[in-house]
Amino acid sequence: MCTVCGCGSGPKIDGKAHAHSHEHEHSHGELTHAHSHTHSHSHAHDHTHGADHDHHHYGDGAAGVSVPGMSQARLIQIETDILAKNNTYAASNRRVLAALDAFAVNLVSSPGSGKTTLLCRTIQALGNQPLAVIEGDQQTSNDADRIRATGARAVQVNTGKGCHLDGHMVGHAMDDLRLASRSLLFIENVGNLVCPAAFDLGEDAKVAILSVAEGEDKPLKYPDMFTAATLAILNKVDLAPHCDADLDAYEANLCRINPDITVLRVSARTGEGMEAWLDWLRAGLASKART
């Protein structure tokens, strides 16, 4: 990870180098992103994105300065959260979203739960609703390509070896997306039920997607993610009869891990349950406009 701005050591956005020089945005004496500030960071100088700005790349760099020397040993109280820097970026993203009355969801699941298909169907069903998508994967822009085929704006973040999106990557992607006010922002995290639970991106809610063939005990096996989620979508319910899935057992296990979680049974393929999901999104968006 770049020790100046927090860039991870592998991620890139749509295959392009994220070769930024750092001078401008770290001179504020705080670790916030430049995006939410009104004083003019054009970002043209620090990001060498392509013309369409939809692929970020995180270079590595490990600055370490230490000079051996001797003086009095002393104890310094730090009491600092190890993820403090990520949380600062996330807070900055949250401010940008709040200013736009935009509602952001962080979609988390294992690989293959149907996140991208669900998103494509959701985008089609939402019609003219302003929205944008940030796609996180270790490699390829396949998912962003699928989203763009629906006509929606999408940015692909490739994390390289990284197992999760972080607040800094999402901040840069949001810069490129230039969200319209009252937008929905879908952040499709790297398919991984472990690491993304710990990294706040500034989203309004985490939505965990679980497909019915994954096993009823999955919420028990990966409790952190399902505890962090506000909503769980039990996806591919059309397959339930073919794989002897017990949907009630899924729900019971989700509620055991997280008594507050809302569960929706959906099939992105057949459209079953989609209206409830769309209503949940619309309600979230409306709640942002009221605050």
Partner 1 sequence: MHEMSLAEGIRQIIDTQAVAHGFQRVTALRLEIGRFAGVEKPALEFALDVVLRGSAAEGAGVEMIDLPGRALCYDCGETVEIADRLDPCPLCGSGKIMPEGGSEMRIKDMEVI
**Residues of the shown chain interacting with partner 1 in the complex, contacts defined by CB under 8 A:** 1, 3, 6, 8, 62-86, 162-164, 166, 194-195, 197-198, 220, 223-224, 227, 255-260
| Contact assessment for residue 109 and residue 162, using Cβ atoms and an 8 Å cutoff | no
Minimal distance, residue 197 CB to partner 1, in Å: 7
| Residue number, 6 or 273, with CB nearest to partner 1 | 6
Closest Cα partner for 189 from 179, 181, 177, 197?
Answer: 197
| Contact assessment for residue 126 and residue 179, using Cβ atoms and an 8 Å cutoff | no
| Residue number, 30 or 244, with CB nearest to partner 1 | 30
Closest Cα partner for 105 from 216, 253, 206, 211?
Answer: 206
Cα Rg for the chain, rounded, in angstroms? 20
The tokens describing 27, both together, are 């001179």
State residue 126 phi and psi, 5-degree precision: -80, -10
Compute CA distances 204 → 133, 155, 163, 242, 288, whole Å.
Answer: 15, 19, 21, 35, 9
Distance, in Å, from the CA atom of 215 to the CA atom of 244, rounded to the nearest integer, reads 10
Minimal distance, residue 200 CB to partner 1, in Å: 12
The tokens describing 287, both together, are 């709640």
Minimal distance, residue 7 CB to partner 1, in Å: 10
Minimal distance, residue 55 CB to partner 1, in Å: 22
Distance of CA 74 to the CA centre of its chain: 40
| Residue number, 64 or 127, with CB nearest to partner 1 | 64
| Residue number, 166 or 204, with CB nearest to partner 1 | 166
Minimal distance, residue 4 CB to partner 1, in Å: 9
| Residue number, 242 or 256, with CB nearest to partner 1 | 256
| Residue number, 125 or 163, with CB nearest to partner 1 | 163
Minimal distance, residue 123 CB to partner 1, in Å: 30
The tokens describing 146, both together, are 């699928």
Minimal distance, residue 36 CB to partner 1, in Å: 21
Q: Which contiguous run of DSSP H or E holds residue 118?
A: helix 115-126
| Residue number, 39 or 74, with CB nearest to partner 1 | 74
Q: Which residues contact 279 (CB under 8 A, 6 or more apart)?
A: none
The residue length of the chain stands at 291
